[in-house]
Amino acid sequence: MSDQEQTLQASVARLRQIVNALDPSQLDTPAYPSEWSIADVLSHLGSGAEIMERRLGDSLSGSDTPDDFAPSVWDAWNAKEPAAQAADAPVADRALLERIGAVSDEERDPFTFAMGPMTLDWDGFLGLRLNEHALHLWDIEVALDPTASLAPEAVEHIVDNLELIARFTGRPSGEERSISVRTSDPRRDFLVTLGPDAVMLAPSAPVDPPDLELGAEAFIRLVYGRLDPDHTPPTKGPADLDELRRAFPGP
C-alpha cells in the first residue's frame, strides 16, 4: 500500500471519529465556508465517494459513466436529513476506500482516469480524493476548533499536487506579476504567476529572499481559498496576502 493510500485511510478514520463524537445539534453548525453546514460538507464527501467509486469501476472496465449519474447522486444526498447525511457519509467513504484497496497492482499500472480535459494515472486519482477529503475534513474540524490544521501527513502529499489544483482555483484579477513562495514543513519553492487571463502556479528554483514564506499547510489552504485573516499563521515577506487571496478565492 502506498503512503498516499495510507494517508487517505487515516483521513477517513479521522472523519469517522469526528462524526461519531458529534452531537446531533452540531450538524447544523456552519462549516467552512459558512454557507455550508457540517451536514452539508458530510453530504458532499459522501456523494463524492459514491460518484468516485462508480467512476473507478467504470474506468477499470473501460465503460463510460452515464452523464446523469452524478446529478442523480447529488439529488439523493441533498434530499437526506442532516442525521442521515452524517450517518451515511462515513459508510460511503469506507466503501470507496475498500474499492480502492481491492484494485490489484496489475490494474493500477495501466489505470487512467478522465477528469475534464485531463487524464490522471493511479496516483493522480488517489491524490484527487486525498486532496478533497483532507480539505473538507478541515472544513468540519475548524468549525469545532478554530485552531485546527490540515493533517501533517496529508500536507506532505497535497503540497506536491498544487500545480494541478491551482488551475481550477485560480481566478485572474487583471493584475500581472510573479510572486515567489517558499514553504516549510516540507520545504518547497513555487512561483505564482498572475496574468490577465489566468493564474498559474509551478515549482521553481529557489529565490532568495522569496516574496512570501509560510508553512506548507497554510499555503495549501491559500490555494484552496481557505486562508482568511482569522486562520492565517505568521508569514514573512513583502507579498500582499490579500492579493493572493483574491487570486485564489476558493469556494
pLDDT tens by residue, 13-22? 999 999 999 9
Interval 61-73 mean pLDDT: 95
Q: Are residues 133 and 209 in the same domain?
A: no
Residues 143 and 223 in one domain: no
pLDDT per residue as tens digits for the range 215-235:
999 999 999 999 999 999 999
Please indicate, yes or no, if residue 157 is contained in any of the structural domains: no
H helix runs in the chain, sequence order: 3-21, 38-61, 69-78, 82-101, 105-108, 122-144, 152-158, 162-169, 216-223, 241-247
- Is 158 part of any domain? no
pLDDT tens track for 90-118: 999 999 999 999 999 999 999 999 877 77
Answer yes or no: are the C-beta atoms of 195 and 172 closer than 8 Å: yes
Cβ contact 3:157 at 8 Å? yes
- For the chain, state the CA radius of gyration: 19
**Greatest distance between any 2 Cα atoms in the chain:** 53
Residue 161 domain-assigned?
Answer: no
Indicate whether this model's pTM tops 0.75.
yes
User: Rounded to an integer, what distance in angstroms lies between the CA atom of residue 201 and that of residue 194?
Assistant: 9
pLDDT digits (tens, 9 = 90+) for 190-210: 999 999 889 999 999 999 999
Average pLDDT (40-65) is 96
123 is in which domain, residue-wise?
3-148
Decide if 15 is inside a domain: yes
Residue 154 lies in a domain: no
Question: Which residue, among 30, 7, 56, has the nearest Cα to 159 in the 3D structure?
Answer: 7
At residue 117, the pLDDT reads 76
pLDDT tens-digit profile of 118-165? Answer: 789 999 999 999 999 999 999 999 999 999 999 999 999 999 999 988
- At residue 62, the pLDDT reads 92
Where residue 203 sits, what CATH number does that domain have?
Answer: 3.30.1050.10
CA 217 – CA 142 distance, rounded (Å): 14
b/e 57-93 (16+ beta carbons within 10 angstroms → b): ebbbeeeeeeeeebeebbeebeebebeebbebbbebb
Q: What is the pLDDT of residue 240?
A: 95
- Whether residue 248 contacts residue 170, with contact meaning beta carbons closer than 8 Å, is answered with yes
Closest CA to 77 of 110, 48, 102: 48
State whether 118 and 176 are in the same domain.
no
Do 20 and 123 lie in a common domain? yes
H, E, C per residue of 222-244: HHCCCCCHHHCCCCECCCCHHHH
Q: What's 111's domain CATH number?
A: 1.20.120.450
**Total number of domains in the chain:** 2
Distance of CA 64 to the CA centre of its chain: 25
Residue 237 predicted with pLDDT over 90:
yes
Q: Tell me, yes or no, whether 89 and 140 share the same domain.
A: yes
Average pLDDT for 42-60 = 97
pLDDT of residue 24: 94
Residue where a domain stops, chosen among 83, 115, 148: 148
Q: Render pLDDT for 3-15 as a digit per residue (tens, 0 to 9).
A: 999 999 999 999 9
One domain, residues 22 and 120:
yes
